[in-house]
């Protein structure tokens, strides 16, 4: 049965509500986009948020739980996404939002498939054995989204250099997430700390949250934070390729979300006593700072080769 096309305004309004409830940081940064880009960012966020919630048994990014049938959840994501990419209306707002934004931006379908591949890793109980495994996972669940956001902001799908910088921002965000959520992930049986790291720190697998290992866990959280900062700095060098308002939003988001990694590192052994976040005052401060950075981005962020020490996304 062919479903009727929903009102674009209604889908946009629902997507706007999704980001307002699901991520105050991204919602704040999205307000800096021009109106067209802002709406498309909301539409993309709604799909990403829904996929994440279905995969993790949560609501708007909170209260993740063990999913009873991960394979069924993944199959639902794939089916609805494939229908949306094929130009069908699904009757489910987040997937209809994806259909709209892909059609309007000529977004390559491979990025959506790459994100779903990340959910597939979680569905089969995957864990990273090496640092490269960790970065590959971060690409699938966040770096690919960075590439999609770049296309939403008007970057040409074949502009690989700018897409690399956009991917770096997604990687930075995910590394910060992992550092912040080590304890929360452990509660649902997940660990994104590479086995190689645990071996190096002499921590038995599955024991990293035990009190005797807290100081060693803090060291690994600092490593994650340092990786996040390195990718954040690389991402900033891509902002001269963006329009002013998109660059402002990206730089604000980098500061706001980068603050999470910095907060985790600053707390040391107390990083997981309560969930790290950036305050409203800090968000306002980063938005104001990003305004100045965006204004002089072509002088501030001079062209430079992307560091060869950084992990590079698959193409």
Query: Which of 79, 106, 124 lies at the terminal end of a domain, its last residue?
Result: 124
> Is residue 91 scored above 90 in pLDDT?
yes
- 119 with 155, same domain: the answer is no
Looking at 124, 153, 177, which one is the last position of a domain?
A: 124
Instruction: Answer yes or no: do 194 and 235 share one domain.
Output: yes
Considering the domain architecture, whether residues 132 and 153 belong to the same structural domain is answered as: yes
Query: Nearest to residue 155, comparing CAs of 139, 166, 168, 142?
Result: 166
**Number of domains comprising the chain:** 2
Confidence of residue 61 (pLDDT cuts 50, 70, 90): very low
Do residue 117 and residue 143 come from a single domain? no
Q: Are residues 101 and 134 in the same domain?
A: no
Closest-CA residue to 253 (of 214, 219, 293):
293
Both 170 and 120 in one domain: the answer is no
Residues contacting residue 140 through CB under 8 Å, at least 6 positions apart: 114, 115, 117, 118, 121
- pLDDT tens, position by position, 151-164: 999 999 999 999 99
pLDDT category of residue 60 using cuts at 50, 70 and 90: low
Residue 146 shares a structural domain with residue 86 = no
pLDDT band at 64 (very low <50, low <70, confident <90, very high): low
Q: Which of 22-31, 55-64, 176-185 has the lowest mean pLDDT?
A: 55-64
174 and 138 Cβ atoms separated by less than 8 Å: yes
Is residue 258 located within the same domain as residue 164?
yes
Give the CATH number for residue 92: 1.10.600.10
The candidate with the shortest Cα–Cα distance to 108, out of 168, 149, 47, is 149
In a domain, 257, yes or no: yes
234 and 254 part of one domain: yes
Kindly state whether residues 267 and 211 are assigned to the same domain: yes
Domain range for 82: 7-124
Whether 31 maps to a domain, the answer reads yes
Q: What is the pTM of this model?
A: 0.91
Judgement on whether residues 272 and 151 belong to the same structural domain of the protein: yes
> How confident is the model over 139-189, as pLDDT tens digits?
999 999 999 999 999 999 999 999 999 999 999 999 999 999 999 989 888
31 and 88 in a single domain? The answer is yes
Query: For a pLDDT cut of 90, what percent of the chain falls above it?
Result: 77
């Amino acid at each position: 049965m062919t479903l009727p096309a929903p009102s674009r305004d209604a889908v946009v309004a629902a997507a706007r509500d999704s980001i307002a409830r699901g991520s105050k940081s991204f919602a704040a940064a999205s307000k800096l986009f021009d109106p067209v880009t802002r709406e498309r960012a909301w539409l993309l966020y709604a799909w990403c948020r829904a996929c994440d919630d279905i995969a993790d048994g949560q609501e708007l990014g909170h209260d993740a739980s063990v999913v009873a049938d991960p394979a069924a959840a993944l199959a639902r994501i794939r089916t609805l996404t494939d229908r949306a990419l094929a130009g069908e209306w699904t009757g489910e707002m987040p997937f209809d939002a994806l259909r709209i934004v892909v059609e309007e931006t000529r977004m390559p379908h491979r990025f959506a498939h790459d994100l779903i591949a990340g959910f597939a890793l979680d569905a089969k109980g995957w864990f990273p054995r090496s640092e490269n495994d960790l970065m590959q996972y971060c690409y699938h669940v966040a770096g690919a989204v960075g590439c999609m956001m770049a296309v939403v902001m008007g970057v040409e799908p074949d502009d690989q250099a700018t897409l690399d910088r956009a991917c770096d921002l997604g990687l930075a965000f995910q590394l910060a997430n992992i550092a912040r959520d080590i304890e929360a992930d452990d509660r649902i049986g997940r660990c994104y700390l590479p086995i190689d790291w645990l071996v190096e720190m002499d921590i038995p697998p599955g024991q990293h949250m035990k009190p005797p290992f807290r100081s060693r866990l803090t060291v690994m959280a600092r490593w994650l934070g340092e990786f996040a900062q390195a990718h954040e700095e690389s991402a900033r060098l891509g902002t001269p390729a963006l329009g002013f308002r998109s660059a402002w939003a990206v730089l604000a988001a980098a500061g706001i979300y980068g603050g999470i990694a910095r907060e985790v590192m600053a707390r040391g052994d107390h990083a997981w006593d309560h969930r790290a976040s950036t305050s409203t005052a800090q968000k306002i401060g980063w938005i104001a700072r990003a305004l100045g950075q965006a204004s002089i981005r072509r002088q501030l962020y001079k062209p430079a080769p992307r560091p060869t020490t950084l992990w590079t996304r698959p193409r």
